[in-house]
Structure 1
Amino acid sequence: MAEKAGSSSSTSNPLTLIIEDEVEEELLYGAGSGWVQALTSCDHLASLSSDLAHIPPPQTPCSQCQNPKENWVCLCCKDVFCSRFVNKHMLQHYEQSTHCLALSYSDLSVWCFSCDAYLDAQVIQELRPVHEVAYILKFGEAPPFR
């Protein structure tokens, strides 16, 4: 048994070292670490409401269950629903209406259900106004754009 353990060293094979380095880097910088790269474009922006300067305030409860926390505003119809961590009403709204763009009142992130990805609201010009309005409603001042 000692002979078997000594002969199967993964550090002696250069290819194994490269693969291990790639896996380690992916875990460090990729989804395994919780870090997410937001998209800087989205094919679904045409579905945005034409009036995103007027959205419900962040303390608006879910229109289905009245939960006051973890809520999202649909950027297509401006209705407010709770997150998938509460009762999944925003997810259900997307599945029933195909309204795919939503802004989280928790962290002001924008999610596209169709792309299954976060969108960079400070880079995508169509999203900057609603991000700014939401920021002002939540914090009482304009956001520091990068």
Structure 2
Amino acid sequence: MPVNPTTTGDTFDEHLIGPFAVVPKTDCPHLAAHTYTLPQSAHRVHGRQPACTDCGETQENWACLEENCKHIGCSRYQQKHMLAHHQSTGHNICLSLTDLSFYCYACESYIDSPKLTQVNQQLIASQQQ
């Protein structure tokens, strides 16, 4: 394989763009067998992210995607309330309300899976309203 000049010494990966690319994990074992849906608590209010359940922060928030959980928590770059939610409940899968990426705390990785397709469709629909 040719060497990618943006990642000195690494082998070429067509999915990487530059040295800081994040490649989501596609085989997360922590995705449960249920269908994931966008919680009502994750919908934007007047064009803004919903506030963190714990501190009221309205930037860089995450929505817990555990079935029947409505928790919104701020990022590890704010007050770390989504991380604390994961640590106290064991809820692993969450959605960034900033960049719409999915993350698994147990894998410590961004994830991509067909199990999350319905959430993506709901996000698209909610942005068109």
Shorter-chain TM-score range: 0.7 to 0.9
Select the residue among 60, 84, 91 that pairs with 2:76.
Answer: 84
What is the TM-score of this pair, normalised by structure 2? 0.75
Is 1:140 the counterpart of 2:123? The answer is no
State the Cα RMSD in Å: 2.8
> C-alpha displacement at 1:54, in angstroms?
4.1
Q: Match for 1:129: what amino acid? A: Q
Identify the residue that residue 15 of structure 1 maps to in structure 2.
Answer: none
Number of aligned residues: 115
Identify the residue that residue 8 of structure 2 maps to in structure 1.
Answer: 24
- Per-residue CA distance 1:94-115 (angstroms, 9 max, x = gap): 1111101000000100000001
* Structure label with greater radius of gyration: 1
Q: Is the 8 A contact 1:67 1:82 kept in 2?
A: yes
Q: Distance in 1 between matches of 2:33 and 2:79?
A: 24
- Per-residue CA distance 1:10-48 (angstroms, 9 max, x = gap): xxxxxxxxxxx8x71439977x82111111121111176
**1:90–1:54 distance in 2 versus 1, CA, 3 Å:** closer
Structure 2's unaligned 5+ residue stretches are none
Q: Is the 8 A contact 2:36 2:118 kept in 1?
A: no
> C-alpha displacement at 1:55, in angstroms?
3.0
**1:52–1:33 distance in 2 versus 1, CA, 3 Å:** same
Where has structure 1 moved over 4 Å in runs of 4 or more?
27-30
Q: Distance in 1 between matches of 2:95 and 2:72?
A: 10
**1:35–1:100 distance in 2 versus 1, CA, 3 Å:** same
Q: Is the 8 A contact 2:36 2:116 kept in 1?
A: no
Identify the residue that residue 119 of structure 1 maps to in structure 2.
Answer: 111
What is the TM-score of this pair, normalised by structure 1? 0.67
- Per-residue CA distance 1:67-119 (angstroms, 9 max, x = gap): 11110000012311100111000001111111010000001000000011111
Percent identity reads 32
**1:24–1:43 distance in 2 versus 1, CA, 3 Å:** same
Q: Match for 1:128: what amino acid? A: T
> C-alpha displacement at 1:65, in angstroms?
0.3
Report the structure, 1 or 2, having the larger helix content.
Answer: 1
